[in-house]
Amino acid sequence: MKALVVYDSVYGNTEKIAKAIGHAIDGEIKVISAGEADPADIKSIDILIVGSPTHGGRPTPAIQDFLDKVTGSDIKSIKVAAFDTRSSSRLVRIFGYAAEKIASSLTSKGGTLILSPEAFFVKATKGPLKEGELERAADWAKEITE
């Protein structure tokens, strides 16, 4: 199996989750930041996993830019999954979350969502990740490949 994990990270928390996901998947896995990602690489993979911190209810501009560049012909018949890092504060809930918007973008272009979008939690805006989130990310990654 070939998988690509594309992420953006502001404080390093989303990067840690992305790497935990990448390490948990067997096969040929590439974990790269959104700035390094080339949508043309999608055509040669089986699974695309995209993650971002939630900022103002949205993915970061780097992830949004990557998603904007992905075309239907790039992603048609590719299995996709989305995740975000977020705070559990009430204020964040008002604006929504990045993972759902990432998943919606990928599926609207023809990707096949294989799991519901997943949230990984930070203790505060800058982190750190809450206890057990890296392990939960690894478990989630294993579900993706089952």
Q: Please write the tens of the pLDDT for every residue from 38-95.
A: 998 898 999 999 999 998 889 999 999 999 999 999 899 899 999 999 987 766 666 7
Largest Cα–Cα distance of the chain, in whole Å? 40
Q: What is the pLDDT averaged over residues 11-16?
A: 98
Handedness of CA 87, 117, 109, 79 (dihedral sign): positive
User: What stretches of 5-132 show up as alpha helix (H) in DSSP?
Assistant: 13-24, 61-69, 72-75, 90-95, 98-108
Q: Just give the CATH number of 2-135.
A: 3.40.50.360
Q: Does an H or E element contain 137, and which?
A: helix 133-145
Residue 102 in tokens:
């990432």
